Structure 1
């Protein structure tokens, strides 16, 4: 709910496009810094502690937005929000991995990812609708109450106990990522780079182009996201990431070009469907890939690595796109985003070729 409305709030406080990008981006950078600590804490302090601590910090920080009167205070609380987000989202991915049978990991991560992505799809539409009829402080208090419900429900989960693992956790100096998760996480970075442009600047881009129905964009995105979850995970389990990643990224690439063009509402909604179908297919497949090869005592760090690249993509995207909007225009944001998707496709083809070559040698 805050993704498309926070930029409007910054504008109301007198901030520029550059400040919008920085305030949106700093949230993900603070989350990025916390994820390695969260990954280690999952294996030492336990799933429950990390998850509930992260949710608690998140709820308090979002609730504080209702009392913000300056950009400086908002900037500070966005950093705090990122800390809560980093701990809670790293924990959820690991908890889901604990619960899903290994043979159905792609399918299971698809269902798990659906819940968060439905929120990312319907939340912005609801936020944009509410902000026209209520004040920003009221909106932020509603957001905080949603997080409070999550905090209460988190106490009912049966968490895996740390001492049940058959592996021993070994402390490693400067251990900030899981190497087996690097490749899919790098691919994810170039994909989520595009998300920073959509979530942060699409409402402003549509207004500049006099295109109505921005709320409908997120609803259409949600519908096609749900459609992708019905088959993408199963395709991954049966055939592997090759049959999921390339079709998904081609759809995302096309969506970015349509948003750069954006002549009318119909084109915007077509782009929404393409992006929902593409992102909904690619993201859970890459997450399943990231955790499947990690040792049993490194699933937490694998998820931390995966979401660190997720955050880095969104954060850098928001900050860089803010500069692009300031120097050029909103349309150029999505041309740049299409270039980022192209890099992901090129990198993926290289990784597949490299793996095939290594396999042939063996």
Structure 2
């Protein structure tokens, strides 16, 4: 089956490949979300400084990015099933090992292995979701994929923080092991996935890489800012309640915006969605900068930035794949996912350094300015070709 065999109308989630993908991916993304904000908070409570707290996330995502670059080649050589299964195993199995020590070195070592597994999951998930439907419905399919994954993970990010701040990090560590259960869904995924996804195209990857760099650079700026929100907001508001609520709002709004942005991009074009989304995100970060001590400002800022985060996320991958062409979708997915996770990893460290030097309020102001500066690039990459 190929994307062209799927009807132009009807529910995207009913496509067998999409359903099998969701069954295998939900547990993996839950594991990632549970530790994303929890690990930096755990590191701080264990004695690490604020600037160093983001190092664990940076190491995790550095391993993710390095693996993402290799995924297309690994699938061509080993096949989709073994590579996907290895990713689930690497992401989930080591998670309980966090409990054996609380030093930054140990937490980073465990995160390195898990990050490699997450790299596999991200590239293959986006590729399969995009190739399982016609190109005219690609934005919707990627949006449905993102929305479905967000439903279980919405509770995992704030829940992981709440458990950690409440002294229950062992629960988080064991929850992060659940991707191992996803191995049971891999055979069904392999049977349902379009064969073209696993076949080498014979096309050079260089043109696809270059075509997807622009939209991926826009995404990198936004995910860098996102890391500043999810990593340091719980540290700035250690009472737990407001930070947990803000992360939940960010996740809910972001998930809906990712789906809605995909549908809108299919109908009216990415150029109508991407630049305005950046400006909305900048406004949200400005609200955080000016009102970090205000509960209302924190919640409104998180909501506005969540809307931008979801809209930019889906729109940039649609643009990257369109620019890369049909034979370049796996490569475009790898570049896009590498930019997503590189931005998150760099942001976790860079925003920590900025916050230590300037204060978190000014660090958020710098991030707001970065989103505004990315608008011209967004206009260029969405220009009709």
TM-score over 0.5 (shorter chain):
yes
* SS class of match (2:94): helix
Pair 1:19 & 2:19 matched: no
CA distance in 2, matches of 1:318, 1:307: 17
* Count of equivalent residues: 349
* SS class of match (2:293): coil
Are the structure 2 counterparts of residues 257 and 57 from structure 1 closer, same or farther at C-alpha, using a change threshold of 3 Å? Answer: same
Pair 1:149 & 2:149 matched: no
Are the structure 2 counterparts of residues 163 and 65 from structure 1 closer, same or farther at C-alpha, using a change threshold of 3 Å? Answer: closer
Pair 1:286 & 2:320 matched: no
Aligned to 1:8: 41
CA distance in 1, matches of 2:66, 2:198: 28
Shift of 1:44: 3.6
Q: Which 4+ residue blocks in structure 1 deviate beyond 4 angstroms?
A: 162-165
Contact residue 48 and residue 159 of structure 1 kept, 8 A? no
Aligned to 1:53: 86
* SS class of match (2:194): coil
Deviations 1:123-154 (A, max 9, x none): 21211233355532232012212x22333333
Pair 1:256 & 2:282 matched: no
Q: 2:373 aligns with which of 332, 343, 354?
A: 343
CA distance in 2, matches of 1:163, 1:116: 21
Shift of 1:286: 1.0
Unpaired runs of at least 5, structure 1:
none
Deviations 1:153-189 (A, max 9, x none): 3333223335985x732567xx697222111111111
Q: 1:136 aligns with which of 161, 164, 169?
A: 169
CA distance in 2, matches of 1:52, 1:65: 22
Aligned to 2:74: 41
Contact residue 66 and residue 138 of structure 1 kept, 8 A? no
Are the structure 2 counterparts of residues 260 and 5 from structure 1 closer, same or farther at C-alpha, using a change threshold of 3 Å? Answer: same
Pair 1:239 & 2:268 matched: yes
Unpaired runs of at least 5, structure 2:
1-33
Aligned to 1:329: 359
Q: TM-score, normalised by structure 2?
A: 0.83
Which is further off, 104-113 or 153-162? 153-162
Deviations 1:277-302 (A, max 9, x none): 22122211111111123344432111
Which is further off, 319-328 or 127-136? 127-136
Aligned to 2:17: none
Are the structure 2 counterparts of residues 311 and 132 from structure 1 closer, same or farther at C-alpha, using a change threshold of 3 Å? Answer: closer
Q: Relative contact order (C-alpha < 8 Å, sep 6+): which is higher?
A: 1
Are the structure 2 counterparts of residues 63 and 160 from structure 1 closer, same or farther at C-alpha, using a change threshold of 3 Å? Answer: farther
Aligned to 2:215: 184
Q: TM-score, normalised by structure 1?
A: 0.88
Which is further off, 62-71 or 284-293? 62-71
CA distance in 2, matches of 1:116, 1:313: 20
